[in-house]
Structure formats: C-alpha cells, structure tokens
Structure 1
Amino acid sequence: TAAVLEKKLEEAKIRHAEVNIIEPFDQIKTGPFSVQPLPVSHSVPDACALLIETKAGRVVHSGDWNLDPNPVVGYRSEAKTFKEAAKKGILAYIGDSTNANVDGRSGSERDVEKGLAEEFKNCPGRIFVTTFSSNVGRLISIARAAQKAGRKTVVVGRSMHSMIGAAYDCQYMKNVPDFIAEDDMDDYPDNKLVIIATGSQGESRAVLPRIARGDFPDISTRTTDTVIFSARAIPGNEIKINEVKNNFSAAGIRVIGPKDTANVIHVSGHPCREEIVEMYQWLRPKIVVPVHGEHTQLQAQADLAQANQIPQIVMPRNGSVIKLAPGQAEIIDHIPTQLLAVDLKRIIPANHLSIVQRRKLQYTGVVHVTVVLDGRGELAAEPKINTIGLIDPDDMAEEQFIGNLHEEIIDILDDMGEDEISDDHFVTEELRIGVRRFVFHFLGIKPAANIHVVRIP
C-alpha cells in the first residue's frame, strides 16, 4: 500500500510527503482508541482488518478479505488471529458484504493460474487478458499460466505498469517470468503472446476498450485473437463492459468471461456466504453492521447474520451515524454525503453544474448565434451561426437548415420596434426563444441557445 501511495504521490508531483508504514499486529493509539491491523487474504496484497479497542468494547472492521487457503501473494486470513481477538469479546463486526448473496466460498487464486493455463491451450493467436490492475496475485497467475503455455507476457496500460512496479519494489514478483516490453511484441509470433490490458470494467480511456473501438495506436485486432475477462463486473458497469465485448465480437474475436468456460479464470477477493459464517463463528459478535456493497448485498448479510443468531443487526446507509454502545445499537444521526467525480485535472461533486450541463448537452445540442448591429439597430454583417450536436454540415439537405435558420433570425430582428432593437437584453431573449422554437419545429430538439449581440457605432 505504501509503495503504491508513493508512486501516486510521485505522479501528482507531491514530494517529501511523510508516509508511515504500519505492520500487522502493531498497536496504534489514536485518541481514546487503540487500533491493531489483522492480516487477511485479498486480491490486493497486504490487506488488513482492524481490531479497534474502545472503552465500550472491541470492534472488528473487516475491510476487504476472503479465506483463500493458499494465496499467490500476501497474507492468509488465519482462524487463530480472529479467535484470539475474540477471547476478550467482540462488541461489533463491521463486515464486507460484496458476496453476501453468493453461496459457497470465493475460491483460491491458485486455481485461477491452473484454469488460465488450460484456457490458453485453446487459443490459436494472441490472448488479451484484462483484470483489475490492483490484483497483483492475478497478474502473477496470468504470467505463470502464460509461461506454462509457452508464451511471453506483455503489460499494456499505465495503471498496470505502476502496480507491477510497486509489486517489484515490495519483492512480490519473485519466481515470476519476466515481462517483455510492448515495443518487442512484433518479435514474437501471435501464438506466443499474452497481453495483459487495463479496462476490465469498460473504462473508456483504458487500453482494452480502446483496442475494441480500434483507436489504440499501437495494437489492432485480428480474428485469431482471444479476449479473456479475468474479472467480474462491478454493479453499474455492465453496459460499458458489454459494449467492449460486443465490439470485439463484431470483429469476429472470441470473448471469454468467467461464466463462459468450465475453467476457473476468476475468483473473488471477497468472502462468500460460507466464509462470512465462518468469520461469525470465530468472532461471535454481539452486533453485525453490513458494509461494502449494494443495498441488496447489505441486506443479504443482514439476513445471514439473523439466520446465525447474531443478537443485533444495524443496516446502514451512506452517511449513517451508528451508536454501538451503551444500550441498543442504532442509527442516531445522518451526515450528508455525495459522490465525487474525477474531471481530468480536478475532483468535483458528481452533481457539479458543469457535469449537469454537459450531460444535458448530449441530448439537446447547442446553437451559437452572433449578430452585429450598428447604431441604428440594423445588421452590420450577416449573422454568424454555429451548431454543435444538431446537424451534419457535410449533408447538403441538413446544410439548408442553417440557411433557413439564418432567414428566421433576420425575420425576428425585422419584427422588432425601434425601442426593442436598441435593448440588448430584449434582442438576446427574442433571438434565444426564436432560435429554440425554430430548431424544435424542424428537429424536435430544444437546444441550448447562446446569443451574442455586438454593437458598433
């Protein structure tokens, strides 16, 4: 985690930031609390749950975890660690709900390496594999599976390179076959290459979606290629992911997801129902607070906790303020929360006016009109009209639309009286209303209309 943070600080040109590294089982005192990280297995190495000591009792916050019995990299979630923590009693367990509606167990990353190696045997040309860049264990599994298939591995995507660099810094990449540079791909035949690419969630600017659209400059597709999604869709991303898959499929390229093969090509880094029950048995908490998931997943863990005779269950929402003790656990207040959006070089609220306006413009388009009036209120030059998102200027039939709009603007100005034509606000509003009415009449769209009135002596 510290290595990844340092690389992100470096990218942001933030220097000399103090990064304090905390080891598992360290005791950290902060105010009235004592916090101890407890190592757990997860797809991101060095994950830890938190054991929080308070005067009212002990609380375990699980963070992201699972019960992978033999992780490729990182810690195991050890029963003795949590049973030891439970000896003094656990007031509350605040737990990962991502897979609370999934029966069974999440599986082992070791099985993915075997499954990918089997899948690679059926692929005639290049193999593109996409997964989360933070899943270092998966990147190792892919590289080892490629080696078993007699293939070299290439990594494409900035976040992948950054994460692998951090993994090398932390000595996690021991006994992992060397990756070859992107520039060296042409030195190998197609059936000797595995390409790991970013974009498992359909992110438009990531490598794999760009390759699917045909706008990645260095890599174009071939019908002998195979694309493997070694990840599951985060709820809400399904449409974007399907768009990527459809683009590849339309190009005659085979696409394989976790449900499309009998081979294990993905396991989750989050606990399924059997694992959650096992954690309940280790900790024996008085209270369960489901977190980390959609509402249906939180409810699934709440139902699971009730079925396992947990005395109290609190179902939170974003911003809930929860009292765990003394007395009955309950929600006592709410703090307003909101989503944030990364807007290129800034972070802004997701409901920021600029985003709202851009979202609206994709449906309405915009018309810019500039009129230059002389001292008598007469046109000193032809009106200048620009449209965005309304017509194709190369289409002669649609180009006539601009001519008709031009005549409408002149008609509106001609209908104004002497006092009206001398009032910039009146001229602007009349043209704005008239332009929008005209466009709606012909196109059925009410665009944003920006009117600029210029006066010359």
Structure 2
Amino acid sequence: MTPDSQDFWFLPLGGCGEIGMNLNLYGHDDAWLMVDCGVTFAEPGNLTDPHVQMPDPAFIAERADQLAGIVITHAHEDHIGALPYLWRRFRAPVYTTAFTAEILKRKLMEFNLAGKVPVHVVRPGERRQIGPFNVEWLSITHSIPEPQALMIRTPVGSAFHTADWKLDPAPVLGPAFDAAPYKQLAAEPPDAMICDSTNALVEGHSTSEAELYNGLKQIVENAEGRVVISCFASNVARLKTLMKIAEDSGRQVGLLGRSLRNMVSAARASGYWSGMPKFIDSFDLGYFPRQNFLAIATGSQGEPRAALHRLARDNHPELTLEAGDTVVFSSRVIPGNEKPVEALIKLLQQRDIKVIAAEDSAAPIHASGHPARDELAQMYQWVQPKLAIPVHGETEHMAANAKVARDAGVKQQLTGFNGDLFYLAPVKGVRRKAVATGRLGWDRDALIPVKNEAVEAD
C-alpha cells in the first residue's frame, strides 16, 4: 500500500480513538512522513503488562526506505517517548525545535543512541522540504516549551496538523498565542485539519497559565509549615510560576524527582531558565526551616516510584514531612489514575498533612494544555479547512470535536481510529481498518506485543 504522485493520505497508528501514544503518518508520492512517536503507560495496578507501551510501528518499519523523516511537535512523552525505543526500526532523520531536541538528546543517551540519530533543529516559523513534503512549523501554546503545529504541503494537497494546543494569551513561558499565521491559512485553505480532541467535551475556554499565580501564592502564603507542590514535570511555565511565588513568599525551592531536574536542565540549555534563583541543595532539604521551604515534586498521578509517593510513605531519602505541612496537587487527575491518587491523598491525610487538590481550590491552581470548545470553534473559523479529522481523543471526544467543526462551518468531518486510512487528495474519504495496529511494551530490555488498552494525557 503505497501512495502515488496524485495521492495525499493520513494514517494514524496511535493516538486516534485514544488519548496519548501518538504516531501519525502522511503519505504522498511513494513516501511517508511521520509526525510524533509517543508512549503511554499501563493503567495503575496493572502488574501484568509492561509499564511503558507504544504503537506497533510494523506498517512503517516494513517501509522504512520510504520514510522521508520524523517530525516531533513537542517534548511530551506521548509525542516523543517512543522514539528511542523504535528509531532503530526506521533510521530516519528527526526534525524538531531546540528545546525538544534537548529532551530527546537526554533520552537517546539512555539507549546508547547519542550521536547516532540525525536530529535537525528547526526554528518556529521555518519551512523545510522533507522528501516530497513541505513542512512549516507554526508556534502555538501548550503546557511545555516550544509546542508546534504543522502545515504540511504537497503538490496535490495540504494538511494542518495541530498536535496539542490551546489559545493562551499569557503562557508565562514563550510567546503569547498569535492568531495571524492561522488566519492566513484560510487563504489556501488546507484540505484537512487534523485536530486535538482532548477537551472537546469541555465548554468555554481553557484557563491561561498566567491566571494560576494568585491562587497558588495564596496557598503558599497561608501555609504554616513546609509546602510541597506536585505538577507535571514538563510544565516549565508552572515551574517558573512556582519559583516566582517562592521568591515573593520568602521561601526557597527544592526539586524532588529526576524528570523535574531533566526538564530544568533542558530549559536552561535552551535559554528558558536564565536569571532564575538557585535550588536548595538536595543534601540540605531536611534541615531547611519549614516556613522558608517550598518543594516541587513529581508524582501527581499517584505513581508509586515518584517523589510524592515516597514522601507520603515517609521513605524519601532526603526529606520528611510532618503534621501541619501542606501538599498541593497543581494538576488534574488523568483518567484511570483516580484510585492511586485517592490512595496517595489518604496516606498524606492520615499523617495530618494538609492536602489541596486543583478540583477543590476556589481559585485556579491548574490549567489544562488543551483547547475547550470555544477555542476549537475559533481555530476552525480562522483556518477554514475543507475537512476536519479529530484525533487525540476517545470516541466521545472526537465526536464532540466533529460537531464543533460542523457548527463552525467546516463542510466535511471524518472520524476514525488507529489503522483507518484517510484520503485527503485527490478525493476525500476513509478506508476502515486499512492497516493492522497494536501495541508494543518494553519488558526486560525488549519489545513485546501488548493486548490491553491504556490511556494517558497531559
């Protein structure tokens, strides 16, 4: 199954009909372009299947000589995490921005791939010819530095691939959302818009990252003992906000968790952490005055090996929490993680540690990185694609996204699942179950087939 010079196809192998684990293919003129290569994780409590899971890339691995390149839109695990596991099956060049390249470099070192993978660093706004595909990187806002949407053009058709996004006028880190490049797309217009559906069931507009300062600062200022705030490690803007709150509240910050340290290291190398105060040395954490201390910790999803879980069980090697200390969840609970998060909160409360969750806070202390319905409608109205293809969501999310597109004036909508082949040119349509799909899991340094379903989102 190979596209000819008159064909332009879209083929998701992961992330369509599920949230997370994205792997997308575009086909044209005997060539393929991969967009993202992500992982997901087994549901908490699943002790049978491997913890790390990813799409089975058999279809494109068998056609590796036709793979022109791999574009990574941003550095979240569900978009970049599978690349070190799978790259040897493709051996294709990788294209991404500087911050994402820094994160990827650290991952490749763990797999003895440092210096072996050709990584081309592109600038936001740049255009590159990758085989028969002309790719334009468009800055957008999300919950990680340098997220990019893509405009993919061929001589016979084009596609606007949103990846993960939101409309944030004050993202704290990086440029504010600029509508101009997206309004300009309507002049073409794109043959298809492949769009994030994560929050398509949510009314209104997402919360701006900048709106979190007041709520989080109030919590920190009212706390009498130590404060530990847990958030997604990849949200460098949130980390920057917490650093500012600590400074304004007379507290110093300690980092708890390897992924947090890696993100800060990548942000510093990419120029996103200049002028920030130093962290408390890990050896000094346990001796620092309680009222002058704020820790940022991994583990907001109840992960048993993360820093917050070890603090709750009082077996963290560097810090012990006491009655009267405060733990803040500056995150939302990913579907499927409700039970481990509830268990974690109970462990903390049993030790008389005050717990504040985002759902229970009067002021916003977490902001989603995905668009709610008003944002989806606005983007469809700006871009005016001929066809909407919702992805990055389960069935109900994609159906809701399709309805928003229809109400916004998009004439045609197509929904589907991994393995469905979407025809974008010369005619539009879909061939169901055109390609066999599945999952691989990392088990004892080897990839094995996985049967179960798991979901992850940021």
TM-score class, shorter-chain normalisation, is 0.7 to 0.9
Distance 1:119 1:340, change over 3 A: farther
Q: 4+ residue runs of structure 1 moved beyond 4 angstroms? A: none
- Secondary structure in 2 matching 1:100: coil
* Aligned residue number for residue 34 of structure 2: none
Amino acid at match of 1:8: K
* Aligned residue number for residue 230 of structure 1: 330
Q: State the distance in 1 between where 2:444 and 2:319 align.
A: 25
- Secondary structure in 2 matching 1:35: strand
The answer as to 2:124 corresponding to 1:2 is no
The answer as to 2:278 corresponding to 1:217 is no
Shift of 1:332: 4.5
Partner of residue 225 from structure 2, selected from 101, 125, 128? 125
CA contact (8 A) 1:314 1:331 kept: no
Q: State the distance in 2 between where 1:50 and 1:166 align.
A: 23
- Secondary structure in 2 matching 1:255: strand
RMSD in angstroms over aligned alpha carbons? 1.8
* Aligned residue number for residue 11 of structure 1: 110
* Aligned residue number for residue 307 of structure 1: 407
The size of the alignment, in residue pairs, is 352
CA contact (8 A) 1:46 1:75 kept: no
CA contact (8 A) 1:207 1:216 kept: yes
CA contact (8 A) 2:286 2:318 kept: no
CA contact (8 A) 1:323 1:332 kept: no
Shift of 1:140: 0.8
In structure 1, list runs of 5 or more residues that go unmatched: 353-457
Look at both structures and tell me which one has the larger radius of gyration over its CA atoms: 1
* Aligned residue number for residue 351 of structure 2: 251
- TM-score between the two structures when normalised by the length of structure 1: 0.74
Shift of 1:344: 5.7
Shift of 1:246: 1.7
Structure 1 vs Structure 2: percent identity of aligned residues? 38
Amino acid at match of 1:158: R
Query: Which protein is richer in helix relative to its size?
Result: 1
- Secondary structure in 1 matching 2:121: coil
Amino acid at match of 1:324: L
- Secondary structure in 2 matching 1:202: coil
Amino acid at match of 1:137: A
Q: State the distance in 2 between where 1:201 and 1:294 align.
A: 20
CA contact (8 A) 1:152 1:194 kept: yes
* Aligned residue number for residue 372 of structure 2: 272
Q: State the distance in 2 between where 1:348 and 1:220 align.
A: 39
- TM-score between the two structures when normalised by the length of structure 2: 0.73
* Aligned residue number for residue 339 of structure 2: 239
In structure 2, list runs of 5 or more residues that go unmatched: 1-99, 453-458
Distance 1:187 1:249, change over 3 A: closer
Structure 1, 155-164 or 80-89: larger mean CA deviation: 80-89
* Aligned residue number for residue 442 of structure 1: none
Shift of 1:180: 1.4
Amino acid at match of 1:51: M
The answer as to 2:147 corresponding to 1:35 is no
- Secondary structure in 1 matching 2:219: helix
Amino acid at match of 1:16: G
* Aligned residue number for residue 363 of structure 1: none
* Aligned residue number for residue 168 of structure 1: 268
CA contact (8 A) 1:118 1:263 kept: no
The answer as to 2:116 corresponding to 1:44 is no
Distance 1:346 1:73, change over 3 A: farther
CA contact (8 A) 2:151 2:160 kept: yes
CA contact (8 A) 1:3 1:166 kept: yes
* Aligned residue number for residue 301 of structure 2: 201
